[in-house]
Amino acid sequence: MGPKAIARNGLPVGMQRILRKTIKDLLLFRLKRRMFANPSRTTGVERCFDYKVHINDGPNFYVLYKDIFVHCIYHFEAQRSDPLILDCGSNIGVSILYFKYIYPEARIIGFEPDPAIFPYLQENIDRNRLRNVQLVQAAIAAREQTLIFYSDGKYGSCLAEYLSGDIHPTWTKHEVSCARLRDYLTEPVDFLKMNIEGAEWEVLADSKDLLRQVREMVIEYHHLPGVPRTLHEILKLLHDIGFEYAVGDFNLDTYGGARPPVQLGSNSRYYRHIYACRTD
Query: In this predicted model, what pLDDT tens digit does every residue of 38-68 receive, in sequence order?
Result: 666 667 899 888 999 999 988 889 889 989 9
Q: What single letter denotes the amino acid at residue 168?
A: H
Whether the model clears a pTM of 0.95, i.e. scores above it, the answer is: no
Residue-wise pLDDT tens digits, 94-132? 999 999 999 999 999 999 999 999 999 999 999 999 999
Q: What are phi and psi of 32, to 5 degrees?
A: -60, -45
User: Domains along the chain?
Assistant: 59-278 (3.40.50.150)
Strands 172-180, 157-159: pairing kind: unpaired
Q: 189 with 86: CB under 8 angstroms? A: yes
* Cα–Cα–Cα angle for 183, 172, 194, rounded to 5 degrees: 30
Residue 242 has φ and ψ, to the nearest 5°, of: 90, 40
Q: Are 121 and 135 in contact (CB under 8 A)?
A: yes
What type of residue sits at position 238? Answer: L
Contact 108, 132 (CB under 8 A): yes
d(C-alpha 221, C-alpha 71), whole Å: 18
Compute the distance between CA of residue 103 and CA of residue 81 in angstroms, rounded to an integer: 7
Which pLDDT score, from 0 to 100, does residue 148 have?
86
What does the pLDDT profile of the chain (280 residues) look like in tens digits? 555 555 556 667 667 777 877 777 787 777 777 777 766 666 789 988 899 999 998 888 988 998 998 889 999 999 999 999 999 999 999 999 999 999 999 999 999 999 999 999 999 999 999 999 999 999 999 999 888 888 877 777 767 776 666 667 777 888 899 999 999 999 999 999 999 988 899 999 999 999 999 999 999 998 877 778 899 999 999 999 999 999 987 665 655 556 667 777 777 777 889 999 999 8
Q: What Rg value do the Cα atoms of the chain yield, rounded? A: 19
In angstroms, the CA 3 to CA 1 distance is 7
* Residues whose CB is less than 8 angstroms from the CB of residue 272 and which lie 6 or more positions away in sequence, other chains included: 220, 221, 223, 231, 247, 248, 249, 258
